[in-house]
Every structure is written in C-alpha cells, then in structure tokens.
Structure 1
Amino acid sequence: MPARPKSPKSAPPPSGRARHIGRVIVKTALFGLIAGIAALVIAVLVTMASLPSYSELTQKPNGQTVRVHAADGTLLVSLGPSYGEWIPHDRLPAVMRDAIVAVEDRRYYSHFGVDPIGVARSAYLIYERQGQGRRWQGASTITQQIVRNIFLTNAYSFGRKVRESVLALAMERKFSKDQILELYLNRVYFGGGAYGVDAASRKFFGHSGTRLNLAEAAIIAGLVKAPSHYSPSADPEAAVDRAKVVLEVMQDADAITPAEARAARLDRVRFVPEPKQNSVRYFTDWALGQLDSLVDEQSAPLDIWTTLDLRMQRAADQAIRQNTPANLQGALVSLENDGAVRAMVGGTDYVTSIYNRATQAQRQPGSAFKLFVYLAALEAGVKPGDPVVDEPITIDGWSPRNSSRRFLGQIDIRNAFALSINTVAAQMGQKVGFDTVADMAHRLGISTRLNTHPSMVLGTSDVRLIDMTRAFAVISNGGNAVTPYGILRVSTTDGTILYQHEAQSPRVLVAPFVAAGMTDLLQTAVNTGTARAAQIGRPVAGKTGTTSSNKDGWFLGFSSGLTTGVWMGRDDAKAIPGLQGGRNPAQAFASFMQTALRTRPAQQFDTEVTLPEWQLEPDEEAYYGDPDQQFGSDEEGVTPPPEGQPAPGDGDDTVTLPYEDDTAGTPPPPPPARRAPAPDRVPSGDQQRPPQIDQRWLEGVLRDQQQRPPR
C-alpha cells in the first residue's frame, strides 16, 4: 500500500514574548493616535479662539493700493490690488458659486476643511512619481486656499501645510460653509490686480459681480488656477479655452445640464478693453521709485499727489509724437525752477517700451555739453563780448574742426557759442582746464562719469536727459541749485499726511553774474544761432546738440521759469542721416513750450541780447547745409566721412558760413544771394591772418531778408 503524503507542518504558535511585543506596538500606536487626535483638537480649539471675527476678515485688505494723482487732483493711475464691492453670499450669482466649487473643491460641502480623499489622491500621485519633485497638488480645499490667502504665504514647506490644515479645521468649526465661500469669492485673486468677484467682473466685463451669467462665471472661475496665464487682459483666447474646461467640469459635477453648458455662448462674451497706457506712466513709474525713501508705510493704501500738469503732459506727448521721425525714439522732460517736474515723456509709446529714455538712457550730448565749458570760462572771467579767434588748434594730438572745415577768424565769445564753433570751445576748455569743465558739470547735477580728454568739450561722455535739463534749470534759476522731484504729498486714505514736500533752501551753484552771462549766450543761440527753430515768440534761451554721425539730437532751453529738455535718436545708437538738434528736437521744444506757457506772462531775462543789425536775421541757408553731410567727432578725433563726402567737423549743428579758398589773396566776385563771401587772406611772412567775413557785403545781402520770418 502506497505511503500517505506527509501533511505540511503547521507554524509554531507565537511565543509569549512575541505576543507581548505585538500588544505593546498596537497599544503604542493606539496611544499615539489618540494623543495625536487630542493634540489636533487642542490646536484647532486654540486656533479657533485666536481667529479674527468674520466682520474683521471681511474688512482686512490684501496688499497695498497706491493711487497717484496729478497736481490738480486728477487720478492718473491706481496701482496694486483692486477691490470691488463686498457681495454677500445670498447676492452672489448661483452660477458663480457652483462654478468655483465644481472647479476648485467638488466635495466642499461634505468635508470638514481638509479633504481626506483629496489628500490620499495627492499622496498616491506623489508615490507614483517619486523623484520628480512633485508637491501636494490638488489637495487644497477652498477653506485651505482662503486660509493661505489671508494668514500664510505661498512658500511651500511641510510645516506650512500643517499650519494651513489646522487653520482650515478651525475656520470650518468657527464659520459656516456659506460664510467661508462668501469670504473666498470676495478675497481670492483673479488676476490683473483684481481681488474678489466684483473687482474681476468690473475689470473684465465692465459690470457688477452680481450680474454674472454662466459664461462669465466660468471665465472667472477658470482664472484661479493661473491668473496671469488665463487673464482676459493678457490672452482672451486662453481665458475662453479655460472656461470651456470649467463648463465641462460643472457638467460632470451635475452643477449644470448639457443644455445649459451649450447655451453658455463663450464666443459672445465681450471683454472690456484694457485702458491704453499713455506717456503719463513714464512719469508715475519714475515718481513712485522715490516713494520708499519718503515714507515707511508698506501696507496701508496710499494717495500720492504729484507735480504733473496734465495739460503740459498732453502737450509733451503730442510734441514728441508729431516731431520724432519714424523709427526713432524721443524723450522730453520739463521742470520748474524749483525742480517740480511738470511733464515727462520717456519714449514714443509706453505700451511697446516702458524703458524711460528721459531718466534711464545715457547718451552723448554733443555740443549741448558746451554749456559747462562756457560756464567754466565765464566763472574764470571771460565775458560774452570778449574777442576770440576761430582758427586751427591741436590739443594733445586732437584737432577739432568745424562742420564746414573753415574758420571764421576773429569773432566774439557770444557768437562763437551761438554758432557752436568747436575750435573756440576747445580753446575755452584748454584755458580753464578739462577737469574744471567736468567739475562744473557734476556741480550742476550731471550724475554720470565724465572723461577729461580734450574732446570732452564736444560732449563725448554719456549723460541723462533729466540731468542735462536740471543743469539748464540751474541757469534759469539764477545759478541756484535745482533738484527734480515728482511727489508733493503722500497720505493714507483717511487723510493722515505721511509726507509733505518742503521747498529746499537756496543754494548757489554758480554766481548770479555767471548765470546771467550764460543766459546771454543761450539767448543768442536761439535768436541767431543753431537753435532758431526753438523760437516761440517770447524770450527763450537754449542750446542744441548733435553727436557723431547724427546719432543723437538734443535741444535744451528755458523760458518764463520753465526748463525743457528734448532728446531724439535710436535705442541702438545707429547713425540717423539728417538728425540735428536744431531741427526736430528744437521743433518739439517749441511745440511743447507754446502750449505749456500759454497761460503764463512772458518774462524778460536779466540780460537782454543786443546784436549788430546785420546779425539779427542771419542767412538760414548759409547756416544749415546738407544734413546728410553733418558728421561728428569722437574721443579719438574726427570721424572719417563716407567715401565721396567732405571731411566732417564735430557733427554738431554748427552754423556754416561757406566760402571758397583764394590762395592768391584776392576775393572772388560776390556769389549769388544767400551765400557768404570768400575770405580775404593777407599773407604776412610765413603766417597768414585768420580770414575775416566781409561784413559790409553780408549786411547788404541780409538787409533784404530782415523781414522774412525763420522757417
């Protein structure tokens, strides 16, 4: 008989020691669980006691709102978070409540602040994707989100998640579901600076949040996930696509029927267009940059009153837009003698470029920099009427030239400045010292680094427009210091004054007689020199500037207590044929000042320019040659001209009085009208005296044109 198979041996019963260890582990775990629950209950109860009342939660804003006003009180811009009207739960549209619950927390009405199913699902996803850096995503309930929004930050950590959960549990114990949902819909961020359903509805649709239909509610509900990405202001198509997902989720959650989902015509939703960002934002951006140094308040809403004059700002914007050539940029700054900035344009279009060329860009000023050269000379004792010789000069191997490659011979300081004669500026710089010129520029407010090469007198160092305008304002202010400012007063919304601008005590930077002498020279430049396009029918003083190969055009000047600076050029600093400070920039200056000064009486300067009759109405054509043949001088000397064109001077809008060389020393016959005569060169041994203009001939030519207004 076959043998029976052996039955498997049964496991030996656990020993008494093993049973004891098992019971200890179970008891310890049970005790730990009970202790944990007890600790959680105590934490929730303590947190409940420390939570603010519901009325307090509805009043506390999130973030700081800043309202910026013009000088007349007009609201320029409101920055920071925007809060609409608080909408009670019973007035919140049902479609809005259903949409947010469906897409953000489907089990909202069944959990107690923390969703165990959501936590388990998130934990499983983390386990599945180990090593991918996944966080606890999708587990936050509406209650947890509002807790994080009000009490915590978005910085992720395990400790923050624990505190968030405890606070959520406490919120659910202290407040009802309806209250928490009301709080959420009135406080959550929906993008574009809008906090709460009402602010979002007004921003995106132009009406109150109580009037939202299903399609609009779906769009707003879809914003919570990624406010910036789905914002209708930034990408309307993305907002609509996200809303389609929300409608599908609502249908899946039985919040709406398929027929209702189809009836929600997202293609018929009309978004409110974003207000155009005009040039005033260049000013507000600059002014608000000073706020931190004026007040310490970081959370309370603020009202800021500024120096901006809206009428002048509109005139400035129009002047730059109308006078800046296509594909170029333009900038303008205008300030009072006390430094109050009345207008600022940092570019032709703030929407396409927020870069502020009035305060940030550093460009070469060309002959506008001669302001500091002649100021240093006047301070050293030079007088506007002193004679000087326009002749070749070489300083440390550098030989400046005038744009005509000609020299006028004996001339006075006043006309040398008015005609922007480079050789005379070089002589003045050499006489007073190039370090002295740089010190003068820094004294008057130039904040950038300046070289002290001889060519610096022609403006080869980079400067800012606002600094140059400030320097010219010092002369307008009689030599007293001028510090540009944009903020007059800062207060909280309840009227508490946090800052009030106070006028600075007078501080003399240059003596009044020096400022008066400089005003004399600047008037002459506008009356008879390179800046004639800046005439506005009242006393004006100013100076043009054009840099190498016409890369930059400047005009800076003042009249009736208002100083304005204009710059034009390309951001990439490429050459611009025909750009000269005496043309488009001077024209923009004149266009702006005619409007800006319309309500002000004309003011006479302390020094009134008196010129010989023959100089009162110079020959315009003689002054301005072919703009494409104006070139510039760089730090190394003269920039070579393109092949086939005459050699350049410094490239500034130097007035040119063309004449032909006559080596025999005999003047040629008088040229056609509107041309200056040939010089009279008289040999004297190995030397020749500098050429002299035949003033009698020029007087006869110009007398016929004295009544002709400048073009």
Structure 2
Amino acid sequence: MSASSSPFVARVASRWAALSPRQRRWGRIGAFVAGLLAVALVFFWYLIGRGLPDASTLANYQAPLPTNVRAVDGTPFRSFARERRVFLPYGETPPLLIQAFLSAEDKTFFQHSGLDWFGIAQAVVTNIESMASDKRPVGASTITQQVAKNLLLTNEVTLGRKLREAILARRIEQQFSKGQILELYLNEIFLGRNAYGVEAAAQAYFGKPARELDVAEAAFLAILPKAPSNYNPTTNYDRALTRRNWVLGQMADNGWITAAERDAARATPITTIRQAVRVIDRNGDYFMEELRRQLMARFGESAADGPNSVYAGGLWVRATIDPVMQKAAEKALRDGLVRYDRAKGWRGPAARIDPGEGWQGRLAALRLGVGYPEWRAAMVLARGDAITLGFTDGSTGRMALGDAAMPRAGVGRPAWQLLKAGDVVPVARSGGGAFAGWSLRQIPAVSGAMVVQDPHSGRVLAMVGGFDMRGSAFNRATQAQRQPGSSFKPFVYAAALDNGMTPASIILDAPYCVFQTRQLGEKCFRNFTGGYAGPQTMRWGLEQSRNLMTVRVAYNTGMDKVVALAKDLGIGNYQPVLAISLGAGETTPMRLVNAYSTLVNGGRQVTPILFDLVQDRQGKAIFRADARACADCNRPGYTGQPMPQPADTARQVMDARTAYQVVHMLEGVVERGTAVTLRDLGYPIAGKTGTTSGPTDVWFVGGTPDLVAGLYIGYDRPRNLGGWIQGGTFAAPVWKQWAQLALKDPDKTPFLAPAGVRMVRIDRRSGKRVFGVWPGFGEARPAVIWEAFKPESEPRRLTRANTALTGRVGVVRSDADFLKSTGGIY
C-alpha cells in the first residue's frame, strides 16, 4: 500500500473501531446490499446491451439515395425513389442551419457524451407528474440518441428501448466524431413533404438549397423533426409560428444570433412554397418499368439487398432510351390504336364513380390511363345544353353536345344522350378562344406494342408496351406471346439460303397439301389472298408474302433447320411442323425485333440492353454492358496513330452473306411488295409485314442500316380485327408515322454487302441473268434488278437446250414436269 493511502486507511479503521457492534452489523449489511445492487446493475446493463447492433456498423452507413436515370444522350430522364433525399456532407452544411437544429433539439450536443443527464432527470419528473393522464411520455433524447433510434432501433415507446438507445448513444459517441454524428442526423431525419434530410427539406419548403436559407427559414426547418404535420404552416400556422419563434429565441440565448437578428426573423412570416403536385412525364413508362425490373434483378431493391440497391444505393444509370424515338413510337402506336378503335363506335364511359362530395379524390384514385399527355380524365357533373365536366384539381369545363356525338356501338345513339352524372370519360381540348372547350375521346380496347433497337449495339432506344401503363402494366413488348405471322418468313428463307438456294431460285406457287398423321389427316395451305401465280423466284415470293411458296421452301429445306435457326436467333423454341414456317409459333415483339437486328448486323448475335452503364454514388462504374477489353484504349501519348479497336466478340449465328441476301430481299418488300407504302420515305428500308389468321394480329418489322423497329396491333384476348386490317395496310403505316417523326438523319447510307457477295443483274420474275440492260435504266425492263449471290451460285448464261433441263439423255422435260419432280423448287 502506498504512503499516500495510509492516512486514509488509518482514518477508516479508527472510525470503524469507534462504531458499536450494532452499527458494525448494519454497516456490513449495507455494504452487502450495495454490492448486490452493483452486481445486479452491471448484469442488467449487460442483458440490455446484449444483442444490440454494433455502433461500428454506422461507419459504413450510407443514407438511402434515389437511383437517377439518364437517357442515351445524357439528359436526366427519371429517378427511382421512395424517399426524397439529397445527401449534404457536414462540411457543406451551413453553420446557421446546424445552430438552429442544436437550439431546437440539443443545445449541449458538443458538451455531452451522448446522454443529457439533467434533461433525463427533468423528463422523469414530468412523466411521473403526468402518469394519471393520457399524455404521451416526454423524452430527453439527445441528437446522438435520435441517431441510434432512427438508424439502429425501432420506434416503440418503452423503457427497454430507451435503455438500449442510451447504451447505443454512448457507443456511438465513442466511435464517431460530433461532426459525423450530425451528418448522419441531418441527412436522415424526416421533415415532412416526403423530404428526408435538410437539403431535400430546403428544396421542398422553400425551393432553394440549404446554403441559401436565411435565419427564419433555418429556424422553421429546425421545428419539424418533432412532428412535421403538427407544424405544417398550411394547417397549423400559429403553432408553427410560435415554435419557430421559440427556436429563434434559443439561438439568441445561445449567442448564435444577435437580438436584432432574432427580432427581425420573428417579424418575418412563414412563407413556404406551395407543395407542388408531382407531375410525372409519362414518356417511356413501359421502358422505365422494364428497366427498373432489370436493375432490381441485378442490384436488389432496398438497402437490405446491398449497398447498390435501386431504392437506396444512389445509383447513376445511363439508359439506352432515346427521348425523341420514344415519343415518336408512343404517338405513332397510340394514333394507330385510336384510328382503329374510332371506327368501332363508342363503348360507354371508361368508369363510374359517386358524383357526391369528394368526387375529386375518387376521380384521382382511378388513375385512368388516358395515354396522350393532352388528354385528361373528367367526370360528368351535369348534362343540359352542354355537358359540364369536373377534373381532379376541382376545376370544371364545358363539352358541347356536338363534341360528344360519337355513336354508341350497336345502338347508334350519340354518346351525349347516354352520358350522366358520375360517368368518367377521357377528353381532349377542342376549339380556341371563346369557343374553347372539350371533346369526347375513348381509350382503345385494342392494344399492341412497339420496340426500336440499334442493330449494332443492341441498345433498345424505345419501347411501348401498350396504350398507357396506368391502364395496364402488362408490357406487351416483352411479355405478350403473339404469333408473328408472315413477319417470320424471312428466317425460313434464310435457312433455305444457308442450304443451297438463292434469291433467284424458282418456287412453285400452287396448291400444297401434306399428310400429317392418321388423326390429323391431310393439311392443305393457301395464300392469304387466295389464288396461285405459278413458278416464281424466291425474291418474288417473299416480296408478295406468298404462303404456298414459303411452305414449299420450308419443306424442302427441312423444318428442323428452320426451327434450329429460330432458336439460335432467340425467336422461340418450336416444334418442326410446317405451320411454324407461316408464323404460327409464338414470340414477343422484343425477340422478333432483336432477330431482325441480327440480320441487319450481318448475322452477328445481338443482345437487347436497356442500360449500358451503372455507377455507384461515388461515380465508380459497377456495370458495363460492353465488357470487351481494350488494352490500348487509355494508352498515353496519342500522336495520330489508328484508334484502337476492341475485339468483336459477338457470336456469328448466321452466315453474313445469307443475312445480307435476306436484307436485300426485304428491301424489295418495301420497293415492290406488301410494304410499298414506306417507299416514299426516301430511306433505305428493309422490312416485312405480317398478318396472322383471322386476322388477329398485324405486324411490321424492319428498319434502316442503323435502326430496327417492329410493332404489332391486336386484342389482348385475340379476336378478329376485321378483314380490311392487314400488316401492309395498317401496321406499316403506323411504322411510317414513327419513321417520319424519328428519322431525321440526312445520312442515308445503304445496306452494305459483306465480303464474298456478288451482285448480279437478273430479271426478278424469271430469275434469269440479264446482260446489256441496267436496273432502273428506262422503262422497257423495270423487272431488272441487282441480286445478291454467294460465289458460284449466280445464274449462268445458258442455251435453250440447257434451260429445258433434261431428265435423261435425249428427252426434254417441260418446266411443269420438272418442278413437280423437284417438289416445286429449282
């Protein structure tokens, strides 16, 4: 024992000796009880603290931030967020704002070590006094305790939670600096108007960043953590003003502002901006929803799924969507659907709601998918000399009876005679000036989809999955399994070209029947328009979409080869039956467009992508769609040498020459065939129409050397569209409208033939080689064209005896006999 402690021990010993036996006995009992209490307290503290989250986990804590999506041109396009939050580092937080929050919440923050013991004592006394009332217990939580509760604990009001909160607060104070704790707090707290953190709140209430807030505005934000709804200046102005002025007084008492600044700020009314109704640009809804699904599948949805989740990770995504292409696709498809539906007559109101008090809320809750940005959902309020309409914002409008004269389907009476209060209908602006009003519209019952893709990179530039996603979230571009009809035929001919045929091969367009099985019997095919054309070239058969020629080609090539190619191209996995050659197998618009992109891309595999770059919140790339290595791409010292080229790793799923031959024939579909309506666009276009049996669906898929787009139109529950609807007369004009809006590039580079293709002049009807006449020269031989052949497959100059095709020496057989013996193909 040290000398310094000896006098103390001696004094204790002397006092103990002076005690009576009874006093000594009670002293021993008291010491024993104190020891038990100390042990119990330590054990209780251990039990409460056991299993608590480790405060060190906050070192890696990142505030949930939204995912921001940019379009292919780099412009901001959309964000995925459940909480409105903008992270503000502590070093960039205005001192005035920090002082306001400390004055309101924890003025001794920089002095205490996590717990305010004096405040706790006051809270205990207050809660004991109010035990008999229904008042909610008050607390004395420091900012550190609020961080512990908000980030690591639940929000329950129990003594156990408060004790755990206190333990965590002490651990947090030991682990982090005061600045780090304040940064967590000021970026995490909820301040109303769906704003989390002070920066988002400054924007939500005052429309400016936190650094521009004045004293009065900073003090107002500081009153909100307790209960944002209680201090809403719109509904509780006096309460908010009183609390704000109290905070200003506390700031002055703490020496952070002068008395003059306090008085000037108190004289300032609370003026917040109107809480704006969030106006969402509906352009690209289907694209963005598919993008969101893919991002969540790769990175997760919430913070529990990892640091780079969609709704918490603060990702920066470069999407492939082209806003111009997207708007053009949406307008073209919607116009086509409305044009078809208008001819069917009015079907009645889109919905009915109670027209009584509160109808605005019921109307808004419908989320009626009216499609066009200029259309609005309206409820009929009354009908008289005109129809009075009501809108979700409480405003009203007038619709003349003549603007609601659409005849009711199957009845013949005009719509205005049938409308009554409570009917909900889509309307659009009509007239102008003194004659401005609204006119009746109708959401189409028919639907469809459209996809636009870059055939070289696979980027999906536009995607429309229906008329409006608010009306139906089903994305027909990626989820609808539809029969492509004749738009599948190019792949039948591609398989034939890969197996010895040429575009000039002669195929018989004549009745064709096959025996299937004993149960199914004989199956006979027919052309869509009926009739037969006799022997014709393969090119002519594709241009005119002849079914009988296609099934002959498929049968002689082998359906096993056709379906194998369809599988390689990702169109679908089909059984090798002849009906598949006419497009009876189901696929999605996205898959079919991607297969056409492979044709345009020279037979190299294309993978559709909706985003090609994802960065985390620090800007580090965590995903690249193009993962090809390029060792010299960042090499310093560039002096004009050839640029490095990453290796092309795309799989060659089709002979490049075959792909070009098909594309070249598809150009003929536009020049002379079923899609001739597109010829006057002035661009090199290759494509194919499609019409399924019924018809139930109509298609057009095609594009330029740098863009491929495809669409279909049909009912979700397939039914007859009407005999006047065909791919060439309805789907192709929709595609044309899109092209007129989207194709603005003056560069009209033609489709380029790959090495090994020979261009030969032929007569497109007979398939014979032509000499001395040039395609497009004069009007005498308009059938002369350049045709693409593989080496040694082009037609030869033959004598008359040779062209008769002898069956045996000395016997000349007729063309009809020869075609019959070869299955109708030469």
> Normalising by structure 2, what TM-score?
0.55
Q: For 1:506 and 1:97, how far apart are their aligned partners in 2? A: 63
Tell whether 2:409 aligns with 1:399. no
- Deviation per CA, 1:49-92: give whole Å up to 9, x if none: x697xxx89xx631354333333322223334531557557437
Structure 1 residue runs without a partner (length 5+): 1-21, 102-107, 126-135, 226-238, 257-262, 618-683, 689-711
Structure-2 change in CA distance of 1:331 and 1:31 (3 Å): same
Secondary structure in 2 aligned to 1:478?
A: coil
Tell whether 2:588 aligns with 1:588. no
Q: For 1:224 and 1:44, how far apart are their aligned partners in 2? A: 32
Q: For 1:155 and 1:456, how far apart are their aligned partners in 2? A: 63
Q: For 2:549 and 2:53, how far apart are their aligned partners in 1? A: 84
Asked if structure 1 preserves the Cα contact closer than 8 Å seen for 2:49 and 2:167, the reply is: no
Secondary structure in 2 aligned to 1:394?
A: strand
Hey, what does 1:598 align to over in structure 2?
A: 745
Q: For 2:167 and 2:592, how far apart are their aligned partners in 1? A: 60
Hey, what does 2:565 align to over in structure 1?
A: 440
Q: CA RMSD in A?
A: 5.5
- Deviation per CA, 1:550-590: give whole Å up to 9, x if none: 33222111213322222333334444335432234322322
Asked if structure 2 preserves the Cα contact closer than 8 Å seen for 1:365 and 1:462, the reply is: yes
Structure-2 change in CA distance of 1:513 and 1:148 (3 Å): same
- Deviation per CA, 1:131-174: give whole Å up to 9, x if none: xxxxx999996765532433458899999886445224656899
Instruction: Choose the corresponding residue for 1:341, options 438, 446, 460.
Output: 460
Alignment of 1:105-116 (within 5 A): 111-112=119-120
Alignment of 1:643-662 (within 5 A): none
Q: For 1:411 and 1:118, how far apart are their aligned partners in 2? A: 99
Alignment of 1:88-167 (within 5 A): 88=94, 90-91=96-97, 111-112=119-120, 145-151=146-152, 163-167=164-168
Asked if structure 1 preserves the Cα contact closer than 8 Å seen for 2:449 and 2:712, the reply is: yes
- Deviation per CA, 1:465-502: give whole Å up to 9, x if none: 12111111121122222222343434445554444423
Cα offset, 1:442, TM superposition? 1.1
Hey, what does 2:355 align to over in structure 1?
A: none
Hey, what does 1:319 align to over in structure 2?
A: 332
Asked if structure 1 preserves the Cα contact closer than 8 Å seen for 2:485 and 2:584, the reply is: yes
Alignment of 1:449-528 (within 5 A): 449-492=573-616, 494-500=618-624, 501=626, 502=628, 504-528=648-672
More strand by share: 2
Q: For 2:782 and 2:106, how far apart are their aligned partners in 1? A: 77
Tell whether 2:706 aligns with 1:558. no
- Deviation per CA, 1:598-657: give whole Å up to 9, x if none: 24333145469964679979xxxxxxxxxxxxxxxxxxxxxxxxxxxxxxxxxxxxxxxx
Hey, what does 2:714 align to over in structure 1?
A: 569
Q: For 2:137 and 2:587, how far apart are their aligned partners in 1? A: 52
Asked if structure 2 preserves the Cα contact closer than 8 Å seen for 1:279 and 1:349, the reply is: no
Q: For 1:589 and 1:114, how far apart are their aligned partners in 2? A: 75
> Normalising by structure 1, what TM-score?
0.63
Aligned residues: 560
Asked if structure 1 preserves the Cα contact closer than 8 Å seen for 2:233 and 2:240, the reply is: no
Asked if structure 1 preserves the Cα contact closer than 8 Å seen for 2:191 and 2:221, the reply is: no
Tell whether 2:101 aligns with 1:83. no
Structure-2 change in CA distance of 1:51 and 1:580 (3 Å): closer
Structure-2 change in CA distance of 1:484 and 1:28 (3 Å): same
Asked if structure 1 preserves the Cα contact closer than 8 Å seen for 2:450 and 2:709, the reply is: no
Q: For 2:323 and 2:168, how far apart are their aligned partners in 1? A: 49
Alignment of 1:18-29 (within 5 A): none
- Deviation per CA, 1:655-707: give whole Å up to 9, x if none: xxxxxxxxxxxxxxxxxxxxxxxxxxxxx9xxx9xxxxxxxxxxxxxxxxxxx
Cα offset, 1:373, TM superposition? 1.6
Secondary structure in 2 aligned to 1:583?
A: helix
Hey, what does 2:282 align to over in structure 1?
A: 278
Structure-2 change in CA distance of 1:29 and 1:508 (3 Å): same
Asked if structure 2 preserves the Cα contact closer than 8 Å seen for 1:470 and 1:482, the reply is: yes
Q: For 2:676 and 2:652, how far apart are their aligned partners in 1? A: 30
Alignment of 1:24-423 (within 5 A): 30-31=37-38, 33-36=40-43, 39=46, 61-80=62-81, 82-83=85-86, 85=88, 88=94, 90-91=96-97, 111-112=119-120, 145-151=146-152, 163-168=164-169, 184-189=185-190, 194-203=195-204, 206-208=207-209, 210=213, 244=235, 270-287=274-291, 298=308, 301-325=314-338, 326=341, 327=444, 328-395=447-514, 396=516, 397-423=522-548
Structure-2 change in CA distance of 1:437 and 1:294 (3 Å): same
Q: For 1:600 and 1:84, how far apart are their aligned partners in 2? A: 45
Structure-2 change in CA distance of 1:252 and 1:196 (3 Å): closer
Asked if structure 1 preserves the Cα contact closer than 8 Å seen for 2:120 and 2:140, the reply is: no
Amino acid at match of 1:83: V
- Deviation per CA, 1:173-200: give whole Å up to 9, x if none: 9999999888545312468874214314
Alignment of 1:602-617 (within 5 A): 602-606=749-753, 611=764
Amino acid at match of 1:556: V
Secondary structure in 2 aligned to 1:274?
A: coil
Q: For 2:543 and 2:132, how far apart are their aligned partners in 1? A: 81
Hey, what does 1:623 align to over in structure 2?
A: none
Secondary structure in 2 aligned to 1:426?
A: helix
Cα offset, 1:400, TM superposition? 2.6
Q: For 2:504 and 2:188, how far apart are their aligned partners in 1? A: 72
Q: For 1:120 and 1:44, how far apart are their aligned partners in 2? A: 30
Structure-2 change in CA distance of 1:221 and 1:27 (3 Å): closer
Sequence identity percentage: 28
Hey, what does 1:691 align to over in structure 2?
A: none
Secondary structure in 1 aligned to 2:454?
A: strand
The higher relative CO (CA closer than 8 Å, separation ≥ 6) is in 1
Asked if structure 1 preserves the Cα contact closer than 8 Å seen for 2:187 and 2:196, the reply is: yes
Q: For 2:227 and 2:269, how far apart are their aligned partners in 1? A: 17
Structure-2 change in CA distance of 1:338 and 1:198 (3 Å): closer
Structure-2 change in CA distance of 1:170 and 1:41 (3 Å): farther
Structure 2 residue runs without a partner (length 5+): 1-28, 108-115, 248-267, 300-305, 342-443, 517-521, 629-645, 754-758, 766-778, 784-815, 821-826
Structure-2 change in CA distance of 1:568 and 1:51 (3 Å): closer
Asked if structure 1 preserves the Cα contact closer than 8 Å seen for 2:700 and 2:735, the reply is: yes
Amino acid at match of 1:382: M
Structure-2 change in CA distance of 1:565 and 1:303 (3 Å): same
Q: For 1:476 and 1:562, how far apart are their aligned partners in 2? A: 9
Asked if structure 1 preserves the Cα contact closer than 8 Å seen for 2:603 and 2:654, the reply is: yes
Q: For 2:486 and 2:280, how far apart are their aligned partners in 1? A: 37
Instruction: Choose the corresponding residue for 1:428, options 533, 537, 553.
Output: 553
